[in-house]
Amino acid sequence: MLATPKQGSANAPEASASDQTATPYSLHDLPLVNDSPRSRGRIRCEVTDFKVDEELPFTPTDEGEHLLVRVRKINRTTHDVQQQLARTFRLRIRDVGYLGLKDKRSVSTQWFSVAVPAPVDSFAAPDLEILQQRRHIRKLRPSDGCRNQFEILVRDVEPTHVSSSRMCTVPNYFGEQRFGRDGQNVSAAMKWIHEGKPRVASFVKSIYLSSLRSYIFNHVLAARVDRGDWFKGIEGDVLLDGLPSGPLWGRGRLSTSSLAQRIEQDVVESVAEIAEALEWVGLKQQRRPLAVAPICLNCKTDMDIARVRFALPSGSFATSVLRECFDLEERWR
């Protein structure tokens, strides 16, 4: 089981600085499906080693008040591009829509939406390029979902230990990007809880809540991986697309029953402070599949470099696929 944060109350005496920040969190803490030897591997050694292409989940109408802009970004966050578009079109940041966050240290293409009458030719910013513009009837939102195509170079591998079969179906863990380096998003969110949940910027609050929600989900999934039934239904499971699911915590009763519910309840009780905070802000419970199968998986090894290509549905993490085959060392910046 994963390490859990310190327990306490928002009205209790303030925790010490070490208690507030001592929430280590890494994919290395999560149980693997297969314990046989994996190859070592290094990712993001160069920005161009990690490529992501976002696919629109619909066909644009080619009419309407919203301009869809497909952008290629290099070593930029999604919010960098959002801010640049807001400046370019003289909009508020919240009026620039997008489907999902993309890794900073990568070459990524993704779609944004802006409610403007005329297109723009280019950005006055390095490492950003406009690839395509289409019109549409509504703003893009993360809830729309999307599929992402990945092409990733893994360096310094041991070819004899590279097996693509280990990546065919994997636990659908939230990756380290959701939690920040060394779990800093979880640590900051716990500090926010200990301080009585003071008002913070809406974007910061969303980071806190998503990291805590993901933290609980990963605990549930880790428990199921330890049991060996993470990819097949057990008594009381709720299936999504034929796969068992785990909770994205919020208000409401668990939709599972029997054995599946007992597993989830045990996990939630171990992180009760986090669960209570998510209920306090009014989030409603949702479900997420415990397993994910990469689409069109292809892995080719040349000397000590593996080139891995696959697609994933919205919200799934490429690093959670790779870690089943590689003992990853990742460069964050």
Q: What is the pLDDT along the chain (333 residues), one digit of tens a residue?
A: 444 443 333 332 333 333 433 344 667 788 999 888 999 999 999 999 999 999 999 999 999 999 999 999 999 999 999 999 999 999 999 999 999 999 899 999 999 999 999 998 888 788 999 999 999 999 999 989 899 999 999 999 999 999 999 999 999 999 988 988 778 898 899 899 899 889 998 889 999 999 999 999 999 999 999 999 999 999 999 999 999 999 999 999 999 999 999 999 999 999 999 999 999 988 999 999 999 999 999 999 999 999 999 999 999 999 999 999 999 988 654
The structural architecture, per CATH, of the domain 1-55+146-333 is 2-Layer Sandwich (3.30)
- Determine the Cα angle at 46 with ends 44 and 47, to 5°: 80
The superfamily CATH assigns to domain 57-145 is: TruD, catalytic domain (3.30.2350.20)
Q: What CA–CA distance (Å, rounded) separates 304 from 243? A: 35
Q: Which of 19, 49, 80, 103 is catalytic?
A: 103
The segment(s) of the chain belonging to CATH 3.30.2350.20 are: 57-145
Contact yes or no for 145/57 (Cβ under 8 A): yes
Told to judge if 80 belongs to the known catalytic residues of this protein, a careful annotator would answer no
Residue 6 φ then ψ, to 5°: -60, 140
DSSP secondary structure, 226-244, as one string:
HHT-SSS--TT--EETTEE
Predicted structure pTM score: 0.88
DSSP 306: E
Q: Determine contact, residues 315/240, Cβ cutoff 8 Å.
A: no
Ranges for all domains in the chain classified under CATH 3.30.2340.10: 1-55+146-333
**Which of 327, 27, 28, 33 lies closest to 173 in space, CA to CA?**
27
Quick check: 73 and 111 in contact, CB under 8 A? no
